Amino acid sequence: MAQHGRQLDERVNDISSTRHILVVSHTGRPDSIDAALEVCGLLGDAGVVPVLPRDEWDDIRRAQPTAAIDDVEILFDGVACDDLECVIVLGGDGTILRAAELIRGTRAPIVGVNLGHVGFLAESERDEMADTVARVLAADYEVEERFALDVKVTNRDEVVYETWAMNEATVEKASRERMLEVVIEVDGRPLSSFGCDGVVMSTPTGSTAYSFSAGGPVVWPAVQALLLVPLSAHALFARPLVVGPDSVLAVEVLSRTDARGILWCDGRREHDLPPGARVECSRSDQPVRLARLRTGPFTDRLVAKFQLPVTGWRGPAPVEDAPAVSGTSTSPTVAAPEGDR
C-alpha cells in the first residue's frame, strides 16, 4: 500500500513538472488532421507533451495508421484538464466551442488557429501556425476572460436540466409547422409574450454569432452585458434587449398551446422543452479564458473578419488641421490602415 502511494506521488509530481498542451482539431477534415500532426510534432520537438482527446486520437490513427502519435498522451487517461498549460485549437469557432466544453472549469487558456471560414474567435491563420505554436511555447500571449452563461431549465418548479453556454442559449420551436408561444422575463418580471420561431439569450462573445444573424447588436467584449434577441416574433414589441451583467433572463414556453420547444446551447447541447418549461440564463462564475496574440482594437477584428468596407477613411484630423478650440487638449494623429494609405 505504501509502495502504491509512493508511485502515485511520483506520477503526480512528474505530471506537475511536465508541460502539457492540448490540441483540439476538426478530425473530420484531412487538412485539420495534417495540422494536428504538425502541431504535435512541434510541441514534441520542444520537449512539451502534446495531448489529444481520445476520439481525436482514434480518428487520426484510423485516417493515418502510420502517424507518429505514440508519444501523444490522451486527455482524461493519465492527464487531467488541470494539468494543461494551454489549448491549441485547429479549426473554426465551432471547434473552439468544443474545446471550451472539454476544459470547462479550468484555467487553461484557448488559442485558435483558423482553418474554417470566418473564425471570429481565432487568433491566427493556417500559414501562421508555426509562429503561433512558438508563441504559445514562450507563453507570449495575454489572457482575456470572456464571461459565460449558466443555463437552468425548470418544469413545474423543479430543476430538470442545467448546463452552460459560451456564445448563446437559444429556445427554438421544435416543429417547423407551428410557432412557439413564449413569455420573456427580465430579473423575475414578465416583459412581453408573443409567438415566434425562438429567442436567443447571448453573451457579448456570442453577439457576433447566432445573435448577429438574428439582427442583434454587436457588443464589444469589454462591455459586460447579456442580450436577448427574438427570432421572427409576431409582436409590436420584439426588439433586441441589452441588460446588465447581473440581470437574469428567462424564457417560458407557454402552456396555452401544445407547441413544444427545444433548447440549444452553443449549437452543441440540446434539451427538449415541453409546454410550461422555463429556461433561465445568468452570468456564470466560470469564465472562458482566451489566449490573445493580437491585442489591437476589437474594431479592427470586426473589419478584418467580416471584410467590412472602410475605403476612404482618413481618421481623426491632424492637430495642425483641426480648428483651434480654447481649453482643449491635443492628441496624436491616428494613422490610416495600411490598405487605405
Q: Enumerate the active-site residues.
A: 93
Residue 30 phi/psi, 5° resolution?
A: -55, -40
Closest by alpha carbon to 69, among 80, 59, 61?
A: 61
Closest by alpha carbon to 218, among 138, 299, 158?
A: 299
Task: State how far the Cα of 147 lies from the Cα of 227, in Å rounded to an integer.
Answer: 13
Structure-derived torsion over alpha carbons of residues 132, 68, 8, 99, reported in degrees to the nearest 10: 40
DSSP secondary structure string for all residues of 227-277: EEEEES-BSSS---EEE-TT--EEEEE-TTS---EEEEETTTEEEEE-TT-
Task: State how far the Cα of 321 lies from the Cα of 281, in Å rounded to an integer.
Answer: 50
C-beta separation of 315 from 297 below 8 A: no
